[in-house]
Structure 1
Amino acid sequence: MNVLLLSIDSLRRDFLTAYRDTPRCLDYGVETDNLDRFAEKAITFDNHYAGSLPCMPARREWLAGVQEFLWRPWGPMEAYDDSLAELTREAGALTHLITDHFHYFQHGSHGYYEDFNGFDFLRGHEYDAWRTAPRDPDERLYRQSADPETDPPHGVGYVNRTNYARNAEALGLGDPDADEENFFGPRVLSRTAEWVGDHDDWDQWFCYVDSFDVHEPFHCPEPYASMYTDEDPADPDLPFWPYYGPVDEGQSELSEQELDFVRAQFAGKVTMVDRWFGRVMDALDEGDRWDDTAVIVTSDHGFFLGDHGWVGKNEPPCYDVLANTPLFVWHPDSPRTGERVDALTSAVDLYATVLEAMDATVPDGTHSRSLAPLIRGDAEDHRDYALYGYWGTSVNVTDGRYTYMHPCDPDEPTDCFSTEMMNARQFAVPRQPKTDAEAGPFLPYTDSPVWRYDAPSTQQNEAPLLFDTEADPEQTENLAAGADPGTDETSGDDGASDQTERMRGLLVDALDDYDAPDSQYERMGLD
């Protein structure tokens, strides 16, 4: 069996036609003809949730089967990880990675690509430290993506939005009429189609494709740039790269016109990526590979586009806009093709699913549970809960209907565990040693010693948040409103109080099941 695993970064399920009729999705009218075509033959998972957020924590879940956010933030594959690429290679498969996701190649992100037989890294997206010339990048690209005060065109900071303007100019993307084949999503997906076509003579392969599109900056060519807006996409005063934060304050402050434009450019990118995904499907058609190839399409998380008053993804609570992610699975031996599955599933489950599809051994102790019983039609249920969140902040749980977001005390530290002394809050700078770290076998899923040291907590929500997503799919009515962090008191009615207590108990059960560190309970005021 071949397996093609495709992640489309930041893809919101409510922008996809396949999810348009489900209760948690609005009708944005975005064209996704090829993902629709794929959904017609695949299994569509309606209750799939992210796990460890954001970028590299999600990749470690997929590639190592470890739900890491209870123990550490953004970081590398660890020496004790059983990597998906290594295990599938040992099972006799040719393995390959295709990506424009530059975070794989940054400080502290090593180990993710090294175990593949080969990899393609397509340069230039977002902050990729690629081009250093010209000194003065294309004026329109620069003005639509950067803030001159924080990202000066001649600045030499490690993370600077000027990087994108220079990279895009080098690829010929400064012209509003630039060829779409030179943009990032099309480059990744056309290379994927080419790779599939080049490997007809291999008995078994695993191809992992990580498209950074539809991630910001939401820069796309015509016809997509104008497809969902009446504005001039070349207007340098309209940003296609919003700053993270509350919509109405701080650096991220956007007018209604600007926010509408950002949404339109995001939607345009979704349609562009969808059309080039069609090339991948065409390659599978032409090679007659559907009968021996499983195809999984998903995303790591969504993106706030003004929802709940936010833009971005790192600071706000983990509403379903971010956490309830798309998942489509085609398996040639499944009797459920074209069906929908309502069972609760988690991002970490893709690890064991790929291994089982390729007849590779799933290691003991993994947090991953294969979706194979659901795919075969042998089961209707999968998980009692899904746990998700960012390291060092609120911890969130869902039972598939109710979502519960439990706050933390920002004055209470949390423990960080890693074989590296990482800067817990800074992914893009060299790691610095910690003088207060201690080493030992502190992790429940490995006997290998790691460093442990205190790191500060941060707060995403000051009080508990509880939502009934069946009755309130947009999560606007907090059933736990008025609750004090770390207490069992709510100002809701008895039914809401009962649900709050039940979901808080489910969260504690989940932490117990994972054998979470004591510091997680302490900073959240949980017994």
Structure 2
Amino acid sequence: MPPMNILLITSDQQHWTTLGVLNDKIKTPNLDRLAAMGTNFTRGYCPNPTCTPTRASIITGQYPSTHGAFTLGTKLDENVPTIGDHLRKAGYATTLVGKAHFQPLLSTDDCESVECYPMLRDLDFWKTFNDEHTPWYGFDRVELARNHADEGHVGQQYAVWMEENGLPNWRDYFQPRHDGIKDTETDGTLAPPLVDGPGYGWRKDMTWKLPEEFHYTAWTGQRTIAAMRDAHAAGKPFFVWSSYHDPHPPYCVPEPWASMYNPEDMEVGKFVDGEFDHMPPPHQLTRDANGDFGPYNQDGKGNHGYHPHVGVSEQELKEAQAIYYGMISFMDHWIGQTLDALDEMGLTDQTLIVFTSDHGHFVGEHGLVAKGPFHYDDVIRVPFLAAVPGQQKTGNTSADIQTLVDLAPTFLEAAGLGPAREMQGVSQLDSWRGTAEPTRDHAIVENHHNASDAVHLRTLVTDRYKLTVYRGRDWGELFDMQEDPHELHNRYDDPAYAEARSAMMMKLIQADLEREPAPQPRVAGA
């Protein structure tokens, strides 16, 4: 039997409920098709609710506190072993298309980044990147874009592709450069105008004039298909990470997706009066319309990460959600093209396919928008679909706990390789096949949100409870997810839940011991 191909498809900042199989408000026929091919795991969790830490965990099989890229603005060391390194040695063609975000937007003497200015816009550099700088994090082939929607930090191979395919004035469709330097006098003139408020990601006009065929979603889909075809033509098994950028804000997308959903049909979250009465101080401070979070700010090193929507109307949230759904449906279209290409090449029955997201998203839930350091299910729970060809019951739905830290070791087993000693995750292949009892009974989510340790927390999720502890603080959170699935009643200090809290504390300690890696074998007694 030939080695199994591995196709990992990810979105960015997608709420776990935004699949047609779970939510009749959204149309995702191709993700529904993938769910019918395998299993929809409804309790998938990320190891950190922000981009860099989780993305680094996906390729290393390690938690952020181990691989070192513990928050946004940090860098994953390029010498850390990755799933790509292991698969390359086994003869796989390894490719990353889309968003990486393993490195920060700033390069310093202490942190050299190629995902930053001015290198982002050095298109000559990116034209030769694969000849001179790969393998990069274990990928032999790398095609990158860093921006979300019309953000100014656009460039890399995506910009090269736009120029080569007939859009030399691509700069006109994006905001001025993130570093404040304009490339042309018309930079950003066709991008949706910026707006101050009502929150991160809003645009005055959410319909983006960028032609649909030049959108990075179309680029990611096309280049994913090309990578699979090239590997197949070379007679090599492939590991392709198809890394989509949406539906991460800003909220804007071209037609026809911008008008696909009626805002009046959207159901958005809201703050429930009294829900923060027993929550830690950082939560309570999100009700401050001025955004003054005092000691919990990020020491001036960028956004504090809290995104309250005090003053944002329900109508504004609905308009944002309609665009958010359109961004997902556009991505779903290209996922369908990718699945069709596998069928055309006759590779569907030889390809393990996983779809998930790096973290979730708030649209009003608990009075929040976007993301931040809070560990509500809205941001730590992710969509998770896994299809193991010919080895599992199809069209299945499972509540078995999954975590993205387990992706790398599972891919290793699917490729017929042994476990990697440095990885902290465990293979879920038997769980995906449905041939064994659940491999996990918990997930751990970390968040060392800023350098001052003002918000440094860790969460344990089990089948019923969710416990969150804060470094150096007396406060905490305990939610009974069975009785309180919307997480409105913190039971951390509730005497009626004292026994459950004690049991969860012990479980957290044991879970932390279990994930301790042993990267070096013991070869002698001393």
TM-score, length-normalised on structure 1? 0.71
Partner of 1:204: 237
The 5-angstrom pairing of residues 343-382 of structure 1 reads: 343-382=400-439
1:64 is aligned to 2:47: no
Superposed CA RMSD in Å reads: 3.3
Asked if structure 1 preserves the Cα contact closer than 8 Å seen for 2:207 and 2:255, the reply is no
After TM superposition, the structure 1 stretch with the greater mean CA deviation from structure 2, 62-71 or 9-18, is 62-71
Query: Cα distance 1:332–1:499, how it changes in 2: closer, same or farther (>3 A)?
Result: same
Query: Cα distance 1:230–1:500, how it changes in 2: closer, same or farther (>3 A)?
Result: closer
Shift of 1:314: 1.9
Partner of 2:302: none
Partner of 2:255: 222
Partner of 1:191: 223
Query: Cα distance 1:101–1:214, how it changes in 2: closer, same or farther (>3 A)?
Result: farther
In the alignment, the residues of structure 1 paired with residue 256 and residue 467 of structure 2 have an alpha-carbon distance, to the nearest angstrom, of 41
Shift of 1:351: 0.6
Gaps in structure 2 of 5+ consecutive residues? 115-133, 156-176, 265-284, 292-306, 518-526
Q: Secondary structure at the match of 1:366?
A: coil
1:126-154: CA deviations, max 9, x gaps? 45264533456446745345679x99xxx
1:325 is aligned to 2:382: yes
In the alignment, the residues of structure 1 paired with residue 478 and residue 346 of structure 2 have an alpha-carbon distance, to the nearest angstrom, of 48
What letter is aligned with 1:508?
Answer: I
Partner of 1:88: 87
Q: Secondary structure at the match of 1:57?
A: helix
Asked if structure 1 preserves the Cα contact closer than 8 Å seen for 2:244 and 2:331, the reply is no
Shift of 1:105: 6.8
In the alignment, the residues of structure 1 paired with residue 499 and residue 347 of structure 2 have an alpha-carbon distance, to the nearest angstrom, of 51
Query: Cα distance 1:178–1:80, how it changes in 2: closer, same or farther (>3 A)?
Result: closer
Asked if structure 2 preserves the Cα contact closer than 8 Å seen for 1:91 and 1:359, the reply is no
- Aligned with 1:464 (options 476, 486, 498): 476
Partner of 1:415: none
1:364-390: CA deviations, max 9, x gaps? 142110111213333121113211021
Gaps in structure 1 of 5+ consecutive residues? 21-26, 152-160, 166-172, 232-244, 411-461, 481-489, 517-527
In the alignment, the residues of structure 1 paired with residue 432 and residue 425 of structure 2 have an alpha-carbon distance, to the nearest angstrom, of 15
Partner of 1:335: 392
In the alignment, the residues of structure 2 paired with residue 499 and residue 323 of structure 1 have an alpha-carbon distance, to the nearest angstrom, of 22
Shift of 1:289: 0.9
- Aligned with 2:144 (options 118, 121, 133): 121
In the alignment, the residues of structure 2 paired with residue 370 and residue 179 of structure 1 have an alpha-carbon distance, to the nearest angstrom, of 42
1:295 is aligned to 2:353: yes
- Aligned with 2:10 (options 7, 11, 19): 7
Q: Secondary structure at the match of 2:59?
A: helix
Q: Secondary structure at the match of 1:336?
A: coil
1:512 is aligned to 2:508: no
Q: Secondary structure at the match of 1:400?
A: coil
Shift of 1:328: 0.9
1:40 is aligned to 2:36: yes
Shift of 1:42: 1.6
In the alignment, the residues of structure 2 paired with residue 62 and residue 505 of structure 1 have an alpha-carbon distance, to the nearest angstrom, of 27
Shift of 1:46: 2.0
Asked if structure 2 preserves the Cα contact closer than 8 Å seen for 1:247 and 1:306, the reply is no
Query: Cα distance 1:7–1:220, how it changes in 2: closer, same or farther (>3 A)?
Result: same
In the alignment, the residues of structure 2 paired with residue 14 and residue 346 of structure 1 have an alpha-carbon distance, to the nearest angstrom, of 16
1:346-375: CA deviations, max 9, x gaps? 110001011111123321142110111213
Partner of 1:179: 211
Partner of 2:273: none
Partner of 1:266: 324
Shift of 1:511: 2.7
Partner of 1:396: 459
Shift of 1:333: 3.5
Asked if structure 1 preserves the Cα contact closer than 8 Å seen for 2:15 and 2:379, the reply is yes
Asked if structure 2 preserves the Cα contact closer than 8 Å seen for 1:50 and 1:300, the reply is yes
In the alignment, the residues of structure 1 paired with residue 135 and residue 48 of structure 2 have an alpha-carbon distance, to the nearest angstrom, of 16
1:448-488: CA deviations, max 9, x gaps? xxxxxxxxxxxxxx8322122222221122222xxxxxxxx
What letter is aligned with 1:181?
Answer: E
In the alignment, the residues of structure 1 paired with residue 467 and residue 331 of structure 2 have an alpha-carbon distance, to the nearest angstrom, of 33
Partner of 1:311: 369
In the alignment, the residues of structure 1 paired with residue 104 and residue 475 of structure 2 have an alpha-carbon distance, to the nearest angstrom, of 37
Aligned length: 416
In the alignment, the residues of structure 1 paired with residue 324 and residue 363 of structure 2 have an alpha-carbon distance, to the nearest angstrom, of 9
Query: Cα distance 1:176–1:141, how it changes in 2: closer, same or farther (>3 A)?
Result: closer
In the alignment, the residues of structure 2 paired with residue 330 and residue 81 of structure 1 have an alpha-carbon distance, to the nearest angstrom, of 28
Asked if structure 2 preserves the Cα contact closer than 8 Å seen for 1:52 and 1:390, the reply is yes
Percent of pairs identical after alignment? 26
The 5-angstrom pairing of residues 270-289 of structure 1 reads: 270-289=328-347
After TM superposition, the structure 1 stretch with the greater mean CA deviation from structure 2, 102-111 or 321-330, is 102-111
